[in-house]
Amino acid sequence: MSDHYPIFLNLEGRPCLVVGGGRVASRKVRGLLDSGAHITVVSPRVTEELEKLARQNRIQWIEREYCEQDLAEQFLAFVATDQESVSEAVLQDAQSTSTLVCAVKKESQSHFQTPAKGKVDEVQFAISTGGQSPSRARELKEKFLADLKAQSSPDSSSDSSPHPQNWKSPARSGHVYLVGAGPGSGGLLTQRGQHLLDTCDVVYYDRLIGKEIINSIPDSVEKIYVGKQKGHSRPDTGELLAQAAQKGKAVVRLKGGDPNLYGRGGEEMTDLLYQEVPFEIVPGVSALTAVPSAAGIPVTYRNLSREVVIRSGYRLPDPESDRLQKPNAEETTYVYFMTVGRLAEIVEELLNYDQLPSETPIAIIQKGTLPEQETLTATLGTVLDIADKTPLQPPALVIVGQVVHFRNRKSLLNYLKTVEPEFTRSGWLSASEEGPSP
């Protein structure tokens, strides 16, 4: 088969047809809108996004099944449906027209394929594998994007750790994404989380994920249930994630709430670290605040509640135990909001009132989740001297406790073995059934 001829088309004002109304169709429409095309969507049903665009007269929606006359005078046509019979019909009808067709289910027979594309400033590029390996094309696109952005702003950050990626970056082959799905409602899934679900190869999920979110995953994505089932042992989820990524798949582990608040995100992170599998954590809306808010209850209120203590109900201590009344400082994580200008008082409180050792690790995260995020790590004994040389910028969050060791992934596993001699990979993962949605 001959190589495809690469070309950039000017679609300004040209008529383009999209057959199908699901999430794949939505992605095609977004790209066509950016190119200035006049878009017609043919489908009995469409996503909320497409319905809104039709109401705004930004696209034309024909609410029925495809028929041959829809191809008339169209410059390009995209068949964005899983129904192979529809793809075959459009390709057959196009033989008697001048319309070029791309069918997601019949790429080998299509007139063209849409590449993975990117743009930084005036530089625009596109990568194609002839439809053979879309995940490979996405991976290369991300690499080129990162290189171009680094060249555009080489001094944009002094933090050596990776910053949160642009949320529009697709899932990369060979990577695992620990995605927080929120407490249940599909409307509380983040845009980054939904974009990864749309672009990954396989999703592993458990019983805490709402049906609305599961139903939103494209049919082309493999869905695997890994929750505990009665009469069956719990699967080694970390091992499954690592194996899938090592086969070159783009993997999403969908977790209720936020992955790192009673969601065993840290345990699965250690599994992936052992296997040297690259991963990204995608925060989710936590039930900690979302569920009370949905019931009209604020968890903090001036003069009524100035702090929140978080405990897991899976293993409640003896009610008579002093441990229930006062946290064990060595096993407690302290999180402080609105910290700029109060760092000295916070350190004094932790050292003197909570009696934490001076070597307790502390992390100060400035402008968290933004491209300019910076993280300063130290101990309670050294942080004030370091902060004097690095003035804090709001907003900043302070985290104190042994979990800060996760910041240095190279030494984390050795640290875990030191403090927990019985620790083995996946040792925590099989300990119990899923707890409440975090």
pLDDT digit string, tens, across residues 396-424:
878 888 888 888 777 777 777 777 655 44
pLDDT score at 366: 84
CATH superfamily, with its number, for domain 176-287:
Tetrapyrrole methylase, N-terminal domain (3.40.1010.10)
Task: Return the pLDDT at 16.
Answer: 96
pLDDT at 421: 55
b/e string for 270-286 if b means 16 or more Cβ within 10 A? bbbbebebebbbbbbbb
Residue 259, both tokens: 């992955």
Instruction: Report CA-CA distances (Å) from 370 to 60, 166, 375.
Output: 36, 9, 12
> pLDDT tens-digit profile of 94-146?
999 989 999 988 877 889 888 877 777 778 888 887 766 766 777 787 777 76
Q: 188 and 182 in contact (C-beta within 8 Å)?
A: yes
Residue 202 CA to residue 261 CA, distance in Å, equals 24
| pLDDT value for 77 | 96
Q: Cα–Cα distances in Å, from 221 out to 82, 181, 196, 216, 218?
A: 12, 17, 11, 11, 6
The predicted structure's pLDDT at residue 161: 39
**What predicted TM-score, i.e. pTM, was given to this entire model?**
0.53
Write out the catalytic residue numbers: 206, 228
Residue 1 has pLDDT above 70, yes or no: no
* CATH hierarchy code of domain 15-109: 3.40.50.720
Cα–Cα distance, 271 to 426 (Å, whole number) = 6
How far is residue 407 CA from its own chain's centroid?
19
The first and second tokens of residue 266, run together, are 């840290």
